[in-house]
Amino acid sequence: MRSLQINWYSLLKRAFLWSIFLGLGLYAAWPWLPGVGAKHPRAIVVYGFSILGEVMNQGIFPAFQAEWLARSGEKIEFVSSFSGSGTITNQIILGVPAQVAILSLELDALRLVDNHVLAGPTWHDLPYEGVLNRTPFIILVRSDNPKGIASFADLAQPGVEVVHPDPLTSGGAQWAILAEYGSVTLNGGSPEEAYAQLLGIWRNVVAQASSARAARTQFENGFGDALITYEQEAVWDLGRGKLNALIVYPESTILGEHTVVMIDKNISPAERDLVEAFVEFLWSETAQRIFVEYGFRSVDETLNAANPNFGVIAKPFTVKDLGGWVNARDEIINAIWKQKVLPEVGR
Amino acid sequence: MTERTLSHRQRAATLLPVSLLLLVLLPLLLMPLAAIYIFAGSGGWQTFVTSLSQPDAQFSLRFSLLIAFSTALLNAVLGTFAAYVLSKYRFRGREALSVIVNLPVAIPTVVVGTSLLLLWGPIGLLGKFLDPLGIQPMFAPAGVLLAHLFVTFPYMLGAVKPVLDELEVTYEEAAYTIGASRWQTFRFVLLPALRGGLFSGTLLTFAHSLGEFGATVLVSGNLRLRTQTAPLYIFAQFEAGNIEAANAVAAVLATLSFTLFFILLRMTQQPRRSAE
Amino acid sequence: MSIVLTDLTKWFDNNLVVNKVSLEVTDGELFVLLGGSGSGKSTILRLIAGLSIPSSGRIELNGRDVTFLPVQSRGVGFVFQNYSVFRHMTVGENIEFGLRIRKAHLKERRQRTEELLDLVGLAGLGARYAHQLSGGQQQRVALARALAYYPDVLLLDEPFGALDVKIRAQLRTSLKEIQRQLHVTTILVTHDQEEAFELADRIGVIERGHLIEVGAPQELYHHPCSEYVATFVGGGNVLIGREEQGFIRLGDARLPFPPGAPVHDPGSPVRILFRPETVSIQTEPFSEAQKIHILSQGQIVKRIFTGSSQRVLLEVENLEGMRPLASRPEYGQRVTHIEALQPSDASNALDRAWEPGSKLWIGLKQFHVLEPVSLKVLISSESAFTQESAAQFGCQVARTAGGNATVVSVVNSAAEAARRREDLETLRQSWISDLPHLETRVRQGDFNTEIVHEVQEGHYELVVLESHKGGLMPSSLGQQSTVRRLLAASEAAVLLVRKPHPRLERLLICTATGEPGKSDVLFGARIARRANIPTTVFHVLSPQASPVDRRRVERHLSQAQISLNGMGVENTIKIAEGPVMETIVGEIERGGYDLVVIGAPNLFISRPISRPDLAAQIINHAERPVLIVPMIQ
């Protein structure tokens, strides 16, 4: 009699356990079960640098899906990953199946060429030589700006805590370095003064994140007095009323230009038409308007008026003013920041 | 009277170390876990459900579970086999092999990911030759599975091998003399004896796979709706500042892990109790 | 015949664990294999069951050759010392496991299980698990499990070894009843004599893989053939005397050969066995009417009261021509100990007189004469025999030692083997009158390995090697030489011969190497006694030796003399001073010795000695045969 009871109990327990496991398994495998869900649609694999997450997922992808559906009647899917520009470049070099990559800076595209992912600077064949949109680099400070920060020079003052993305993985960080340096040299300052400013800012860096987006999260979590970041980040939040910080426009700063790259070896002939249509779509007025809406400055300057939140930059400059990307990388990022500033800061 | 004071003193004597332990555990373990639930619920039930029902959140959970199931299943077979060979056969290099097999516990998971990439990736030692054939295990579910098998292998082994080691040789031999074939001996004599170890090993593997991050982030390519596991999703969302989205999935993951852990605890205690 | 083993042999790596065991066990017999730990008894059982594969030999079960059959198809029941009851199965499931494997019907299984539970006395416990049973009960389950599928033979490996005494006795009785009832042929392995005597129809005594003797319990106890069985089975006193005009001379005592005793050569050693319970002791001399063989006078050393009886340890002055074997005396000790078992009768008038120290007369109610043995000699023969010193001298030694010799040749090819066989046959013929039992053998393979194997298989006590084959370099013995290997792998002494030496008339025992040896003296004495030749024990003291060293050596040598006298060997003791090598060689030249005995200290076996090795030097300088005796502690 006693043994019978025990059997019931253990049987129940076992049934319970199994049903938990079966339930979990069923839930997990549901979309892949035969007869559930439709046939897998064609997909475009897009890798983008960090701050593109929202504009692509919420703006560009649905817009293109709608347009493509209208044009051809086909439902398509986007598979995407957003991370630091350097990170995705590294991933692409290692072989992730990205078909379209939107990189923060042309330098990363050049690395793809160096590593034989691309045959050459193929993005030059795209509209605007592959530049999708622009973002100036600005300083974000706490709402009441207690440290009274108004320029890059102020960031070099002792006692200011700066959150900065990591130049090793973040494209935005490299742009930021150029802004911190170029804003001096291109406005009559000597290289020594520029170096002093760069060093001063980097002495004040209290947190480094792997991407501009991550740096922003850190700043929002309460780290630091100031963040050097894309204007888009701030403007987009400002537009939504979600910005609980203050944008400081330096008198002179760099206009970041973001590059679109098609990775031909990951595009099968069956998908080529779709991918090409998508890339073409990126420069369409529809797409560019979406970018502006999300805080990016369009390559078509006339569209920028649509966003009232863009601030005024007195003396903007681009990487061309610094002698192009290769030069900027070798002379500024490598020769000055990496070889002089970093060791000095580390000391 | 004396009795009471004594018990009082005794109670005080236990109270002190227990409260000290709690004092240590609270900020170390309990409060961070509580934070997940508090944050997940802070936006209200509606936000929680919306965050959780995002297609990519759903995908990441399902994908993680599937990978965990497959990992646990495959490693149950592989780990039992490895444990059987290492425990029952005497051969040259057995000691070395035992150490090597346990190595994945010792090396950081990020290193595991890197090493897998450098072997199977398109520019890796073997991947180099596979890539032209169109075989690409990395940045695909297969790569994630591979990484998880690698990382969790020792847990399965660690759960099964001691049980096998403890069984006397004569246990098997008795079955042979009775007339049981090797397979019958394994099926009817060894396997039932291993049941406990196998079960806890599988659960451990499952739980580890569910939470694996370091190796996965490297080998998966972190593709939404393709290879993004739940921990990767949490990390990505957290980095992007979508704390609600991250927390919703984190809460689900934590609950799952708690449940598994609870079952594991019950299971490992059960046989001991009945043996008394 | 239910179980027939033929020349069953098992090697584990380089150890011979089972050595040519042949045995027949009849239907329904309960056969007990009795032996110490490591004797190979369990291995034999495992070989029969198929849990281990023999290196050579044949196993038949019920007329079926099962030598290479897998375990599963042999149909044996096996019970292990540690029960090995399957823990996750109930008692009932354990028992019916064999039938389940054999796909028997549920009804049949249940019925058989009930039957067996009844048989082993566990009725009603079928639903229990192993951890709910005592050790004795678990072993009963194991027994029932092994019997469930009607096995042809039942094999029990120390089944009671893990149980306490009381349970053990109960289980023994049960086992015996069950075995009688089922009439299943059974082999039981044990190290416990009492168990063996109680259970066995027949007992096989096994030592170092060798099945030494088989017989019914009474037979083995009272009339064993071999010394090992005599001393291993039950407590026994074994004394060595000498044949003298048809009688056995034991010190002053002269005992008649009992009827049926094996024939002994005149003057050859005679070993007699008598059990403690057949020893009579009394204060006054025995009278004719008592029909007791008077042994000697002695005194009581110790009395141990064990309940129903008392053990009395007696001390007898070591008399010329008598040597105790069972309780070997300490080296250099004069006295012999004899054990007597007496009823512990409180009213025994003698009781008070039996205090330690009292003098008593010792007599034997009965005794048993063991088979005569001689030194087992292996002679290595590597070239045509006529020029060969080793074989010729070896045969000479073998003849002296009693004629128990084997000549072995190791060759590389089958063709060579045939040629060598002829050579050996010629050698055998030439010695046939002196050595009628000379055996010859040809082995193929590596010389070192084969010689070592032969020595281990044959239990030889002495190996004769030609010195160049012995690996003797001009000045030292190489690390890998045959000599070293033999000394390391066996307890055999090695005789190295370089040049033909025609005679064996004088023996020199050198105790100079390392610690003053004991086994070298005793082994030399054995040869000297058999050959009946005078012996010199020689020790070289270094000039720097302290008085303490000198006294130690003197003490050692006088002990050696006592031992030699005890064995009836004519002897001389010499101590010399000077450089070791030169002094020894000088002594050899002067004394005209035919054989030099030296001990092999442990360091000789384990590591190379820095100074050129003594044995090699003696051989090279004195050109006499050298006998190297391993030091056995």
Inform me whether the C-beta atom of residue A324 falls under 8 Å from chain B C-beta atoms.
no
CB pair distance less than 8 Å for A96 and B224: no
**Does A218 reside within a domain?**
yes
Inform me whether the C-beta atom of residue C102 falls under 8 Å from chain B C-beta atoms.
yes
In a shared domain, residues A123 and A234: no
Give, in order, the Cα–Cα distances in Å from C47 to each of A308, C8, C159.
Answer: 95, 9, 17
Give, in order, the Cα–Cα distances in Å from A332 to each of A175, A188, A191, A229.
Answer: 11, 17, 10, 19
**Does A315 reside within a domain?**
yes
In a shared domain, residues A166 and A86: no
Maximum average pLDDT range among B4-8, B183-187, C458-462: B183-187
Give, in order, the Cα–Cα distances in Å from C185 to each of A82, C57, C179, C480.
Answer: 79, 21, 8, 48
CB pair distance less than 8 Å for B222 and A83: yes
**Does B17 reside within a domain?**
no
In a shared domain, residues A328 and A185: yes
Comparing B58-67, C396-405, C440-449, which segment has the lowest mean pLDDT?
Answer: C396-405
Inform me whether the C-beta atom of residue C72 falls under 8 Å from chain B C-beta atoms.
yes
- Residue A261 in this model has a pLDDT that exceeds 90: yes
**Does B119 reside within a domain?**
yes
User: What distance in Å separates the CA atoms of residue C221 and residue C203, rounded to the nearest whole number?
Assistant: 10
CB pair distance less than 8 Å for B176 and C72: yes
Question: Given a contact as 3+ CB pairs under 8 Å, which chains touch B?
Answer: A, C
In a shared domain, residues A229 and A331: yes
CB pair distance less than 8 Å for A95 and B136: yes
| Closest residue of chain B to C132, computed from CA coordinates | B275
Q: Which domain holds residue A280?
A: 43-133+258-301
Give the burial string for B190-200 (b: 16+ CB within 10 Å, else e). Answer: beebbebbbbb
In this predicted structure, what is the pLDDT of residue C603?
A: 44
**Does A227 reside within a domain?**
yes
**Does B146 reside within a domain?**
yes
| Closest residue of chain B to A97, computed from CA coordinates | B139
Touching B: A residues 113-142, CB under 8 Å = none
**Does B58 reside within a domain?**
yes
Inform me whether the C-beta atom of residue C393 falls under 8 Å from chain B C-beta atoms.
no
Choose the closest CB to C71 out of B177, B193, B195.
B177
Inform me whether the C-beta atom of residue A243 falls under 8 Å from chain B C-beta atoms.
no
What torsion, rounded to 10 degrees, do the Cα atoms C165, C169, C174, C180 define?
Answer: 130
A234: chain B residues, CB-CB within 8 Å = none
CB pair distance less than 8 Å for B177 and C86: no
Shortest Cα distance, chain B CAs vs residue C158, angstroms? 13
| Closest residue of chain B to A77, computed from CA coordinates | B225
**Number of separate domains in chain B:** 1
C131: chain B residues, CB-CB within 8 Å = 275
**Does A306 reside within a domain?**
no
3-state SS, residue B133: helix
Q: Identify the DSSP state of A302.
A: G
In this predicted structure, what is the pLDDT of residue C294?
A: 84
| Closest residue of chain A to B243, computed from CA coordinates | A217
**Number of separate domains in chain A:** 3
In a shared domain, residues A47 and A127: yes
Shortest Cα distance, chain C CAs vs residue B168, angstroms? 8
In a shared domain, residues A149 and A126: no
Q: Between B230-239 and B55-88, two packed helices, what is the crossing angle to 10 degrees?
A: 130
**Does B9 reside within a domain?**
no
**Does A293 reside within a domain?**
yes
Model-level pTM? 0.66
Q: How far apart are the two ends of chain A, measured CA to CA in Å?
A: 79
**Does A146 reside within a domain?**
yes
Q: Which domain holds residue B107?
A: 33-271
Structure tokens of C108? 């049949």
CATH code where residue B52 lies: 1.10.3720.10
- Residue B273 in this model has a pLDDT that exceeds 90: no
**Does B141 reside within a domain?**
yes
In a shared domain, residues A14 and A49: no
In a shared domain, residues A232 and A284: no
In a shared domain, residues A50 and A128: yes
**Does B24 reside within a domain?**
no
Model ipTM over 0.85: no
Give, in order, the Cα–Cα distances in Å from A76 to each of A38, A302, B52.
Answer: 12, 31, 23
What average pLDDT does the structure give for chain A?
A: 88
HSE (side-chain half, CA atoms, 13 Å) at B11: 6
pLDDT tens-digit map of C53-92: 999 999 999 989 999 999 999 989 999 998 899 988 999 9
Inform me whether the C-beta atom of residue C433 falls under 8 Å from chain B C-beta atoms.
no
In this predicted structure, what is the pLDDT of residue C611?
A: 38
Task: Grade residue B268 by pLDDT with cuts at 50, 70 and 90.
Answer: low
- B→C contacts (Cβ < 8 Å), by residue, are 168, 170-171, 173-181, 184, 188-189, 192-193, 195, 275
Q: How far apart are the two ends of chain C, measured CA to CA in Å?
A: 44
For chain C, how many residues are written? 633
**Does A37 reside within a domain?**
no
> Which residues, in sequence order, are CB contacts of C25 under 8 Å at separation 6+?
C1, C2, C3, C4, C31, C153, C185, C187, C202
In a shared domain, residues A227 and A295: no
Maximum average pLDDT range among A56-60, C405-409, C563-567: A56-60
- Residue B42 in this model has a pLDDT that exceeds 90: no
In a shared domain, residues A170 and A220: yes
> Which residues, in sequence order, are CB contacts of A69 under 8 Å at separation 6+?
A75, A76
CB pair distance less than 8 Å for B193 and C97: no
Q: How far is CA C169 from the centre of its chain?
A: 29
pLDDT tens-digit map of C171-229: 999 999 999 999 999 999 999 888 999 999 999 999 888 898 999 999 888 888 887 78
Q: State which H helix or E strand residue C176 sits in.
A: helix C165-182
Q: Identify the DSSP state of C369.
A: E
Structure tokens of C558? 């006088």
- B→A contacts (Cβ < 8 Å), by residue, are 59, 61-66, 69, 117, 121-123, 127, 131, 136, 138-139, 221-226, 228, 236, 238-241, 256, 259, 263
In a shared domain, residues A186 and A324: yes
Work out how many CB contacts closer than 8 A connect B with C. Answer: 64
The dihedral built from the CA positions of residue B102, B105, B106 and B112, taken in this order, carries a sign that is positive
**Does B160 reside within a domain?**
yes
CATH code where residue A166 lies: 3.40.190.10
3-state SS, residue C544: coil
User: What distance in Å separates the CA atoms of residue A337 and residue C301, rounded to the nearest whole number?
Assistant: 100
Residue that is written with structure tokens 């664990």 in the block: C17
Shortest Cα distance, chain B CAs vs residue A26, angstroms? 9
